[in-house]
Every structure is written in structure tokens, then in C-alpha cells.
Structure 1
């Protein structure tokens, strides 16, 4: 007796349902989770890619042209905004860093738009595969260039510069206070823990278990600061000005657009 051939349509439907369930589970689970980062949904993307592949097998050139339009408008907007980045409020970011970011974003937008132009031309000739390869390469090169643009900005988030200033002025017994902010890389550079001041965020559970390890307010910090024989602290400019107006003795060791490092 011959075995019945599997139904290709039924197999496709089963695979599609499994992929949809996969994607929805990852998205919903990590969206409702109380502790999450954007990168946690990365396991969803292989499933999305396979669903997209299934869809593209039956797509026509006219439909794909409309789908190319939206990302093209987005990258064109990025190109326009990158030429006007000097008009944006700088905040804590130095202007020269924003200029590097803008220049790299212009390169990224140009790469995508070039790929989109080739894809549009290929779609007019009904060469769907060549068009998809072109748009995919445009996306890949553009996002890679945009990620490289973040390097200059990312250096501003590093604790290395002010950790060096701290290490040059403290010994192993000197407490270091993180006042109203916390840099996750600083304990690594200092090879010691820091004392949190008026800062909770992800440390809420730990502070409930060991409340004596953190200082809950600036007033309590001022008392501790005045009584400590040796100490160091880092804080934002607004906090530094607030403590300075309150008359707390602080000698500036290091300053950048983000923060101030002080000693008594």
C-alpha cells in the first residue's frame, strides 16, 4: 500500500501557525515582563524572517514597490534631519560628537537610498529576486553605518575618563558615592563597589533587603560627606550646583558635559 503524500498546503499552514505563535510569544512575554531590554525580543526575528520569506514567494513586483516606499521615506527623512542636526538642543552631548553622528547618518541614508533606487529599477523590470537582494543590502549597509555612528556617542557613556581621575586621587579605603546617578561600568574600572545616593531604579529589591547599603537622600549624604575623613563622589551638574548652593565643601577633580567628580 502506498503512503499518502503529505499535503504541501497543510504543511505550509502548520509552519506558518507555528512561526506566528513563536513571534507572538516572544513579543508578548518580554513586553509584559517587569525587567526587560529591547534586545530580549531578538529571538523573534528568525521567525519573522521565515514568515516574510513565505510571503515573498507569492508577492508581485507592484506590491513590493509599495513596501519599499515607506523605508525609503524614512531614510530620506534621516538624510534631511542629519543636515539640520546643529539646530537640535545639545543637552549633555558636545557639538562635535553630534557632527560625527550626522555625517555617518548621511552616509547610511545614502547607502540605503542607492540600494532602494536599484531595487525600484529592478522591480520595474519584474526582477523580484534582484530587487530584494538590492534592498536587503541597502538596509544592511545603512544600519551598519548607523551603528558605527553610535561609537562616537557611546564613548560619552564610558566611565573610563572619570574613573581614571578617581583612581589618581583615592586609596583603597576611600568611599565613592554615586549621587542621583549610576554608571554600571564604574565598579569594574575602580575594582570596588560604590555607595548609591538618592538612587533606586534597578536596585529597589537590593535596597529593600539591605537598606543600610545606600543613602536615601541628599541631606543624609551631606551629613556623611562632612564626617568622612576621605571621600569622592560623582553627580550630574544640576545636583552639583544644588549641593554647592547648600554650602557642601566640594573640590572638583573632573568635569565633562555629563557629570562632575568631586572630593571634600
Structure 2
């Protein structure tokens, strides 16, 4: 039997390869709206304006989330320039760091083999691998919450020296503070809820005496509080919107129109655990079993995952990324099970990955029919070879892992399944680029830029293109569009035009005065303006939006 987990050279080589591939792939795709374009543009505006306190989107106050990701993206732009990989660098580093820390915590708390497995499991989980490549808040939050989880497990493990317990608990408090700066109060509420539930189950009341509460709270507020105080001093309207509207209302009310079926997060967790789905339920059962010693780290990991899933299941706002923080805990549980799990369960996991590969291969011929917009079937045709390659890798990787599972070669089984799962995910993401370009509208950039001069006004009519503004390096004037800008425009209504009719009047006056205008606009609105005789010229269009310029009257 090959004891691969004992080789430091192999472990570091695998981690280096994982990090290099992950970092390289950050730049192979266009920033896809809405999230990627939004957070890249917020950081670009912060970098350009030099205002690191008041967060803005399209020049409008934007207080839906705290600023940590915007800060990190803006810092990336300051160090490396504007670009796709720079916009994704923070989430990429959070994903890589989460894998490293989960592996370290697994080795420290459970043993070397489990640490080796935990890193491989997390790095290859479909959800974690995919979200590490996407510029969104969920991976940033998850990276900070992984610090909290892993630091807590290391600090509270039986036999931990006092100085280690203190230092790791301070790291846990720092992770919670950074999680709050990533996405709000859930960075404190979720770990706090996990501790309460774990204590109620185990009756380990002394755990609270080992949390270094006084030092921890001082550190927590020293990290988390300054920005909230500064932004409140500059923008008195921010606290009510952020704490009431974005927390209380989002959780309890349905006004955000993000409701989903109650079981959605259970399904997403199962999908997100591919290629380890075949051992997921056995791993959860292991977490519930009695452990020797005072502290029960597997139970803590189980409570972490279950509490977060149930918390967001109760919420009336349900988005797929909400459950991303559960995957490090699930990776630790899965790694613990894989150390001693049955051969049959490992064979099942391998077979399920092969089944995923077969499903991808079966899907390939039908992909052009998935196009939701006219003319986009060619984009799905371009995606077909990538899905084909991903399907073959999943099918073959699952087959090879099945052989190693049958031969009871645990380390080889885990390694092969992890590589196959990671490769399948990354190939699918890389192949999405043609579709991503159309969703972002970057195919229209040359035509738009040809119309622009430094004083050209750009309007966005009936829509807001989250990614195009980043690539244009300019803000736009919104017309007949509120959505996420509602609060900001209530504070500064002069930054937008409320109706298409008012826009048409301004557009016509500018044309008569020789002022150059460009608008990114919905096709149905263009047709209506043409019927009303508004002077315009179609510059470019695709299946999702149209670009027009005004007909300037020559003197």
C-alpha cells in the first residue's frame, strides 16, 4: 500500500501545482455579470477616487455589503493594474488559503493522513473549486470563516498548550472580525450560533472559559469597528440601511425576491460535494458519533455545517453562494471518514464521478438547444469540446479511482479522485468564456470605444451592465433603472434620469447642440424611440443589448 500522505515532497508539489493552476486560471475568463462585474467596478472606482471609506457602484453610494473585498480588489489594482485576474485575485487567494488551512487543521487535530485528505477533498469539491475562480463575496467570506473554524478546532483540541490555545483563539476572533467586514453580521452570528448549539449538545460549558473572550472581543472590535464608525460619520444614513434592510429585512421578508424551495441548500450541498458525494452521508454520520476526550472536533464540524445550512434554509433570501462556508467543515468530516471508511463507499464515490462524466458526455449533443437568446447556439457549440473533455476526465478519473478503491489503495484513490474532480471543474469554467463574453457584452467594446471621446456622455437605459462599465473604465448615467441602486439614488437622485421620456428629451437637446451621447439600451426601448423620431444611430448590438449614438447635427 502506497503511503503517499507521508511524503512532504509530494504534498508540497501538489499544493504548488494546485496554487499555480488556480492562479493562472483567474485570468482566462471575462468578468461575468452581475457579481463579478459589480465587485470589480466598485474596486475600480475606489482605486480611482481614493475614497476607501464610502463604497460606491457607478458613482452611487452602495452600502449593501462591507468593504473588505472592495479593499482587497482595489489593492490588487493598485499593485498589478486593472484586469480580470487582478479582480479575482482576492477570491483566488481565499480559496487557496482555505485549502491550506483546512489541511493544516486536519493534520493538527486528527492526524497527518486526514490533513492530507482534507486538503485534497476541499480543493476538488465542485463548489469550492468553482467559487475560488469567481469574484464574489461568498468566497471572501468563506475564507475568513475558514480561519475561524480551523483556528477554533486547533485551539480547543485536547492537549493544546496554553500559548497555542490563546494564539489560535485570537486568530479565530480575527477571522470573525474579517468575516464581518466581508459580508456583515453573519460573520459573528454563524460561529456564535455554532458554539451555542455545540455547547447545548455536549454540555461542555467550560468551553466558554477557553475562548479568551475579553482579549478576543477587544481584538474583534479593533478590527471590525473602525470602518463602521468612519462610514457612519460620513454617511449617517448607512447604519439603518445596512443593519436593518440588509440583515433583518433580507432574512425575514420576501421583498428581495430571492425565495427558493426549502430544500435548495441540501441539494446544492450535495452537488457542491462532487466528487465526494458517495461518502458524504457516511461522513456526516461519523461526525455524530461519540469521540474520546473532552473536545469533540468532528461534532463541531458537523454542527458548523448543519447550523449554517439550516440558518439559510430559514431565511427568505436564498442565493447559491450562501452555503459555501460549510465546505471546509464537510471536507474535514469527509477526510476523517476516508481514513477508515469501507471499500464499498469509496467505490461508490468513484462510480458517481464516472456517472457525472457520462452525464456530461450525454449532454454534449443537446447543448446548442440550451441557448436562451437568438443566435447564441454557436456559443454553446464552442462550449461543447470543453464539456466533452471534462466528461472524459470525470469518466476516466472515476474509473481509475474505482480500481484503486477496489485494491484498497486509499491514498491513491483519494489523490486520483481529487485530481479528476478539480480538473473537471476547471475545464468547464475555462470553456465558458464565449458565453461569458456575451453575457458581459465585451464583444461590443470596440464599437463603443470608437464612439467615445473624453467628454462623451454614456447612458444606460432600462438596464445596467455590471461588467461593461468596468471594461469601459467609466461610470454611466442610469435611465429608468433602480434595482440595487434604489437606496443610493434616494440619497442622490440627481445622479440618474428617472424616465425614458426625460432621457429622450435630453438626448435630442444634446444632438441639436452638437453634444455627443452614447447609450447602452434595451432593444425594445430603441424600437420605441425610433418610432417617436428620436435621433439615433445603432452602433452595435447583440442578443442582449443595443448600443446607440445620437445623430449630431452639423452646424
Structure 1 residue 183 corresponds to structure 2 residue 460: no
> What CA distance in whole angstroms lies between the structure 2 residues aligned with 1:24 and 1:240?
50
List per-residue Cα deviations over 1:177-198 (Å, max 9, x = no partner).
1112222233344443211122
Superposition CA RMSD, Å: 3.0
Count of residues in Structure 1 that have an aligned counterpart in Structure 2: 258
- Pick aligned residue for 1:94 from 360, 376, 389: 376
User: What is the Cα deviation at residue 11 of structure 1?
Assistant: 4.5
User: What is the Cα deviation at residue 119 of structure 1?
Assistant: 1.7
Secondary structure of the equivalent of 1:233?
Answer: strand
Q: TM-score, normalised by structure 2?
A: 0.42
Structure 1 residue 151 corresponds to structure 2 residue 433: yes
Contact persistence 1:100–1:152 (CA under 8 A): yes
Greater C-alpha Rg: 1
What is aligned with 1:212? 494
Contact persistence 1:159–1:189 (CA under 8 A): no
Structure with a larger share of its residues in helix: 2
List per-residue Cα deviations over 1:81-116 (Å, max 9, x = no partner).
112223334515633321121110010010010011
What is aligned with 2:521? 235
Structure 1 residue 73 corresponds to structure 2 residue 355: yes
What is aligned with 2:191? none
Secondary structure of the equivalent of 1:178?
Answer: strand
Q: TM-score, normalised by structure 1?
A: 0.82
Structure 1 residue 261 corresponds to structure 2 residue 547: yes
The structure whose RCO (Cα within 8 Å, separation 6+) is larger is 2
User: What is the Cα deviation at residue 26 of structure 1?
Assistant: 5.2
Alignment of 1:1-264 (within 5 A): 9-11=291-293, 14-24=296-306, 27=309, 32=315, 38-39=320-321, 41-91=323-373, 94-229=376-511, 230=515, 231-264=517-550
User: What is the Cα deviation at residue 118 of structure 1?
Assistant: 1.2
Contact persistence 1:92–1:258 (CA under 8 A): no
> What CA distance in whole angstroms lies between the structure 2 residues aligned with 1:168 and 1:154?
22
Contact persistence 1:112–1:138 (CA under 8 A): yes
Gap change, CA 1:186 and 1:56, over 3 Å in 2: same
List per-residue Cα deviations over 1:126-165 (Å, max 9, x = no partner).
3333222222221111112111111222222345443432
User: What is the Cα deviation at residue 24 of structure 1?
Assistant: 4.5
Secondary structure of the equivalent of 2:434?
Answer: helix
Contact persistence 1:60–1:128 (CA under 8 A): no
> What CA distance in whole angstroms lies between the structure 2 residues aligned with 1:148 and 1:65?
29
